[in-house]
Chains A and B, each alone.
With several copies, the nearest count.
Chain A
């Protein structure tokens, strides 16, 4: 809250502090199949965000009473490593923010999965943020969808997301940590790229109806590009180009 508006986020020529145009995304790189033990995995570098996702399942549900008779149980845990934040060390105990984000991520992924295909089983998605620089929940969803596909979970579409921010009264694509902290608003959006269905939508900061329409349109366009990178990562994985996490530097 504090400091909202206290930092100028646009230069005089309308560029953002990291040099991007308002509708410009940060560099995005996804790798699939980066972990040996997980059934599926993905690693995403998105601007300075670094996020690792492991997927286990479909497997027998533990504890058993949580199993659902008519569909697969999807569980997600989003967590930030204590040293992933710019501020002082975060306690490793899950915060209320992490609990909520875990829930909305799960509900963003569920629409894309054929949950009825594997009743009584469970799939666990573990998301670890190694370095955070804004928009981590949509980056997590983007990586998690790739990890689910890598695990062979039957899906009707991938899910990809991006955050639209509001800085100095203008909508800005893919906001970073600084823009999140000092900007006027943040609207994280996730969609199934082919079906065009919005599966995550949150916002804080004030938006008019017109701004919401525009934001959804900006997001939709960006999500197509993100989807291309997701597909590339999966293709490389299946063609054996995939790398272990950490087997090559962070580029």
Chain B
């Protein structure tokens, strides 16, 4: 991503930027128009929950695995959540194999912060025996095809996988021993945060940038929005900056599209 700037021929770069100056986008969208969003759940049968999300040609898959283990020593009364993401080369020639780099790590941490801060999960309801047995929830996110705005796709896929997850129900005996039942139950969902990214290109703001728009953008700003319209996480990225006014306009754009994205998430989860 570091060298994205240099990957696009200058004439193409100028063409995209001057279209956007006129309020047009290369794929025909309006500045505040999100691409078509598709969400499917249950796509990976060995996961406890899974989802595949498309934003136009961008596709992400996320899977949840939950297991019982000890809590972190400093949080004896809470389950744990770990988010991991890896930009694998399957999805694009710009991704290289190897251990997680700063892009993988930023992506996972932004998704993690959004889910944790909303919060998506009631971690305190994931305790079976305090200080001893808690649910440990892992979410792994992978791109399938990359055409820009992978943060939003990842956030949606992670949330959809959480909504889709079903884990065995455990009974706790008075002496603290666990017994697993056949029944599977949903995870304790507290909120359904959605991720919305706005790109700044010249003086314009566009929602849900595609890959070529990312190549020419000055900066991006991601909002994670909770059901009540609050912002539970933000992340600015890229080599440019935003004026305070642009931040407020970007937030308004994000708040406009968030309810529809959330509705799609909830519909996909119900449909399963």
Contact = CB atoms under 8 A, between A and B. Distances in A.
Interface in B139-174: 140, 142, 144-147
Interface residues of B, number: 78
Contacts of B179: none
B123 interface: yes
Given A89-B67, A104-B236, A107-B239, A250 B84 contact: no
B67 A88 contact: yes
Nearest to A99: B105
A212 B255 CA distance: 13
Interface residues of A, number: 76
Interface string B62-76: 011101000000110
Given A81-B142, A99-B102, A246-B54, A35 B239 contact: no
Nearest to B74: A2
Central interface residue in A83, A84, A195, by most chain B CB within 10 Å = A83
Given A2-B75, A2-B78, A128-B90, A207 B44 contact: no
A35 B140 contact: no
A198 B231 contact: no
Nearest to B65: A89
Contacts of A100: 102, 105-106, 109
Q: Which of B40, B90, B240, B252 has the most CB of A within 10 A?
A: B90
A54 B89 contact: yes
A209 B168 CA distance: 40
Given A83-B47, A107-B239, A35 B90 contact: yes
Contacts of B236: 104, 107, 198-202
A111 B140 contact: no
A70 interface: yes
Given A68-B3, A196-B244, A246-B54, A207 B231 contact: yes
Interface in B34-73: 38, 40, 43-48, 50, 52, 54, 57, 59, 61, 63-65, 67
A1 B146 contact: no
B40 A249 contact: yes
A19 interface: no
A77 B233 CA distance: 24
A204 B241 contact: no
Interface in A31-46: 35-38
A250 B97 CA distance: 27
Q: SS class of chain B's interface: helix, strand, loop or mixed?
A: mixed
Contacts of B92: 37
A209 B67 contact: no
B44 A130 contact: yes
Nearest to B108: A96
B44 A111 contact: no
A212 B251 contact: yes
B245 to A, nearest CB: 9
A50 B50 CA distance: 13
A208 B247 CA distance: 13
A180 interface: no
A220 B244 contact: yes
A83 B140 contact: yes
Contacts of A79: 88
A130 B145 contact: no
Contact of A82 (B84, B113, B118, B255): B84
B44 A213 contact: no
B105 A96 contact: yes
A13 B40 CA distance: 39
Nearest to A184: B117
A88 B65 contact: yes
Interface string A229-251: 00000000000000011110110
A5 to B, nearest CB: 12
B176 to A, nearest CB: 21
B144 A245 contact: yes
Contacts of A205: 117, 232
B269 interface: no
Contacts of B140: 81-83, 89, 92
Interface in B77-123: 77-78, 84, 86, 88-93, 97, 99-100, 102-103, 105-106, 108-109, 113, 116-118, 123
Contacts of B44: 50, 81, 83-84, 130-131
23 contacts: A1-B75, A1-B123, A52-B144, A81-B63, A82-B138, A89-B67, A96-B100, A103-B106, A107-B236, A107-B239, A195-B241, A196-B244, A199-B241, A202-B233, A204-B117, A206-B118, A206-B226, A208-B229, A212-B248, A220-B244, A245-B59, A246-B52, A250-B43
Interface of A: 1-2, 35-38, 48, 50, 52-54, 56, 68-71, 77, 79, 81-86, 88-89, 92-93, 96-97, 99-100, 102-104, 107, 110-111, 115, 124, 126, 128, 130-133, 185, 187, 191-192, 195-209, 212-213, 216-217, 220, 244-247, 249-250
